[in-house]
Amino acid sequence: MASFWILATLIASAAQTARNAMQSTLTASIGTIGAAQVRFLYGFPFSLLFLLGTVMVTGEAVPAADGVFLSYAVSGAVLQIVGTVLMLAAMRLRSFAVATAYLKTEPVLVALASVVVLGEHLDPQAWLAIVIATLGVLVLTWKKPAQGAEPQTGQWASALYGVGAGGCFALAAVLFRGGILHLGEAPFYVRATTMLCWSLGIQSLILAVYMLFFDRHAFIGSLRVWRHSLFAGFMGALASQFWFIGFSLSSAANVRTLALVEVVMAQIVSRGLFKQAVARRDLLGMALVVGGVGWLLILHH
């Protein structure tokens, strides 16, 4: 069971790739906030079904949520909302695969967040891995635009959005793990699913209230495309379910580093679904990002 986090992470990565692709296609019709809201509002009912199924099958009780747990859940939920919006903004400016590569600086940022939040210090080899991964981001960003290509400012903006999204997701991962561990002695799958319900419920409420007051058009638009939104919501809930299972069994850094397999999945989606070409320099940058954060995983063992 100790290695089950590996399988959980691979399932989560596959589900997240499908969810990101669906959200990316929804952005053009209902906007960035509307597409971000889809993963939460349409995912929440599925999280309740997951929890109900878990309780019915295992007979385990749902852990009580105290103030400490709620502080973890609310903080992580808000950061994940911001990260999702930034991620979709990055995908509007660059290809799906390159935007995903920016997000994959997240394991490095998780390690940095662990230093700040948990007081865990990195050795020199880990810092070198961070430098390599950061170099990969710079390679992806610094390029002379060809004739007819996007302007350099757009490239910098996409990098800023992508790395910013990775930072938000990194902090959210650390906070979600903290909340899951705080639930105590309940089985890992019950704690993970409990956090899933609370986080998606909080996120759905925050975004629904915001959009009803400030972006009602996008909210109504997300209801009109409910068929596509329902699939994105299910895949989002499924991905988060297995992310949280991974967090309950291993460190956030281990889980998010192994999740680099999503870069390969995004390449397949980018080429097959969106017909987006990826330049050789982009491939080099992604290889450096993967190499740097992959080294972190090796050091963890």
Domain positions in the chain are 4-300
**Count of beta carbons in the 10 Å neighbourhood of residue 92:** 16
pLDDT of residue 172: 93
Q: Is the pLDDT reported for residue 171 higher than 90?
A: yes
Return the higher-pLDDT residue of 93 and 125.
125
Q: Is the pLDDT reported for residue 281 higher than 80?
A: no
> Residue 205 — pLDDT band, cuts 50, 70, 90?
very high
Return the higher-pLDDT residue of 94 and 84.
84
Residue type, 273: L
Tell me which residue of 221, 281, 292, 230 sits closest to 94, measured CA to CA. 281
Q: Give percent of the chain above pLDDT 90.
A: 28
- In whole angstroms, what is the distance from residue 206 CA to residue 132 CA? 37
CA of 125: how far to CAs of 129, 180, 258, in Å?
6, 30, 18
Per-residue H/E/C for 228-282 = HHHHHHHHHHHHHHHHHHHHHHCCHHHHHHHCCHHHHHHHHHHHHCCCCCCCHHH
Q: Give percent of the chain above pLDDT 70.
A: 77
pLDDT of residue 278: 60
Q: Is the pLDDT reported for residue 267 higher than 60?
A: no
Cβ atoms of residues 274 and 91 within 8 Å: no
Residue type, 86: L
- In whole angstroms, what is the distance from residue 195 CA to residue 287 CA? 33
Tell me which residue of 183, 166, 199 sits closest to 73, measured CA to CA. 199
Q: Which helix (H) or strand (E) covers residue 92, if one does?
A: helix 67-93
